[in-house]
């Protein structure tokens, strides 16, 4: 059996596998996965053209399949997670229930590793629910190692309504819209806020945090079509250094809003007011549920997430598999110690 990139005629099989494997998981995230695949299928000629050159939608449906006879038995969806494409992420992998336990998951993943290794991949990453024992076993067998955990939380639309007209809303001092010259300071913030054992896996560079004209164009288009509205904010301290960034993706239709927030570990007190401000902004756009993710090391952010009424959706292990380049990852104990370093209890200033 051969692993190959998916074609239009594979949609029915892929949709069935997705439906059988992931409906529940996506429902928790308020996403109708079957509807989303049908949408991609109906737009397939555009999706195909967009897959041919770099743009924000290039990998919206980069799927590989494994056939048994004329039936799609397994599928794996992947996307690059850095601009120089050394890190590829396994977004979804599933085997049709009739074909499980026969080595097909291993087969399709090995095919995917070979395919992207030939195209410059140095490592593969993935997120797996901490409760998904079969998948964790599969990944460990294939050489994946855990490097962190990520928690996803959801705020219901009802709870978001409370942020629409709050009794008191104080925007954090120094909050402003992101500007063109903010890329370097945001890159510095990322390096200060994210521990080295995560950065070494993420393998990002400054261009990964840039707001590209292509991305801005896509956001403008979505806003014009009344689909979603993006807002990019930063917080400056008194010395004009960026100490937090906030990216809001407000949905104007049925999907959940998404918040991305990074706070400098020395300015953890900003996390809660910033999150409340974000929720107020989203509530004024529409009363949809809100999703947010948080690494285990971001304690101030996690506390703010709890304090504002979010409920935990899932806890995922983040895993990495090296191909050409062997990463030195800390053991669990060392990771905990370095977390302590990145979560000081007093404000610290890296220039002092």
> CA-CA distance, 115 to 60, in Å (whole number)?
18
Please state the closest distance from residue 93 (CB atom) to ligand COA, in A.
5
User: Cβ–Cβ contacts within 10 Å for residue 177, how many?
Assistant: 9
In the chain, % helix, strand, coil (3-state, to 5) comes to: 40, 25, 30
Give Cα separations from 129 to 152, 241, 256, 318 (angstroms): 10, 36, 20, 9
Nearest to 203 by CA among 82, 120, 116, 327: 82
Reported residue count of the chain is 352
Residue 250's DSSP bridge partners are: 229
Answer yes or no: are the C-beta atoms of 268 and 192 closer than 8 Å: no
Please state the closest distance from residue 81 (CB atom) to ligand COA, in A.
16
Q: Which of 21, 122, 193, 243 binds ligand COA (CB under 6 A)?
A: 21
Give the nearer residue to ligand COA in terms of CB position, either 96 or 301. Answer: 96
Please state the closest distance from residue 3 (CB atom) to ligand COA, in A.
13
User: Cβ–Cβ contacts within 10 Å for residue 197, how many?
Assistant: 19
Please provide the distance, in angstroms rounded to a whole number, between the alpha carbons at the two ends of the chain.
61
Stretch that binds ligand COA, among 94-102, 143-151, 187-195, 209-217 (CB under 6 A): 94-102
Applying the rule CB under 6 A, the residues between 184 and 243 that interact with ligand COA are none
Please state the closest distance from residue 250 (CB atom) to ligand COA, in A.
28
Q: What is the CA radius of gyration of the chain?
A: 21
Q: Which of 3, 47, 105, 305 binds ligand COA (CB under 6 A)?
A: 105
Give the nearer residue to ligand COA in terms of CB position, either 3 or 279. Answer: 3
Please state the closest distance from residue 77 (CB atom) to ligand COA, in A.
10
Please state the closest distance from residue 320 (CB atom) to ligand COA, in A.
14
Applying the rule CB under 6 A, the residues between 125 and 184 that interact with ligand COA are 128, 132-135, 137-138, 141
Q: Is 95 in the site for ligand COA (CB under 6 A)?
A: yes
Size of the site for ligand COA (CB under 6 A): 19
User: Cβ–Cβ contacts within 10 Å for residue 75, how many?
Assistant: 25
Q: Which of 2, 45, 53, 101 binds ligand COA (CB under 6 A)?
A: 101
Q: Is 93 in the site for ligand COA (CB under 6 A)?
A: yes
Applying the rule CB under 6 A, the residues between 23 and 62 that interact with ligand COA are none
Please state the closest distance from residue 133 (CB atom) to ligand COA, in A.
6
Looking from the CA of 299 toward its CB, the CA atoms found within 13 Å total 10
φ/ψ of 334, rounded to 5, equals -65, -35
Binding site for ligand COA (CB under 6 A): 21, 93-95, 100-106, 128, 132-135, 137-138, 141
């Amino acid at each position: 059996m051969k692993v190959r990139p998916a074609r239009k005629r594979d949609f029915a099989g892929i949709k069935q596998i997705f439906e059988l494997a992931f409906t529940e998981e996506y429902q928790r995230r308020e996403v109708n996965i079957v509807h989303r695949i049908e949408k991609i299928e109906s737009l397939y000629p555009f999706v195909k053209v967009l897959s041919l050159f770099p743009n924000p939608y290039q990998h919206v449906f980069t799927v590989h399949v494994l056939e048994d006879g004329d039936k799609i038995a397994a599928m794996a969806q992947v996307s690059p997670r850095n601009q120089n494409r050394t890190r590829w992420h396994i977004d979804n992998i599933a085997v049709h229930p009739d074909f499980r336990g026969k080595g097909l998951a291993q087969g399709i993943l090995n095919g995917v590793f070979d395919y992207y290794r030939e195209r410059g991949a140095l490592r593969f990453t993935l997120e797996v629910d901490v409760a998904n024992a079969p998948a964790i076993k599969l990944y460990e067998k294939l050489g994946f190692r855990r490097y962190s955990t990520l928690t996803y939380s959801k705020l219901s639309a009802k709870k978001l309504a409370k942020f629409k007209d709050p009794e008191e809303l104080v925007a954090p001092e120094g909050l402003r819209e992101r500007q063109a010259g903010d890329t370097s300071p945001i890159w510095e913030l990322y390096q200060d806020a994210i521990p080295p054992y995560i950065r070494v896996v993420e393998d990002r560079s400054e261009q990964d945090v840039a707001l590209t004209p292509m991305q801005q164009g896509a956001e403008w288009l979505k806003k014009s079509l009344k689909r979603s509205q993006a807002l990019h904010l930063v917080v400056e301290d008194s010395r004009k250094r960026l100490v937090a960034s906030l990216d809001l993706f407000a949905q104007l239709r049925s999907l959940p809003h998404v918040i991305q927030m990074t706070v400098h570990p020395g300015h953890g007190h900003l996390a809660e007011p910033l999150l409340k401000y974000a929720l107020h902004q989203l509530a004024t756009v529409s009363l949809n549920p809100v999703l947010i993710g948080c690494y285990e090391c971001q304690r101030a952010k996690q506390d703010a997430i709890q304090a504002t009424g979010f409920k935990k959706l899932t806890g995922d292990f983040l895993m990495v598999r090296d191909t050409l380049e062997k990463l030195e990852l800390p053991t669990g104990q060392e990771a905990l110690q370095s977390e302590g370093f990145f979560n000081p209890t007093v404000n610290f200033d890296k220039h002092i």
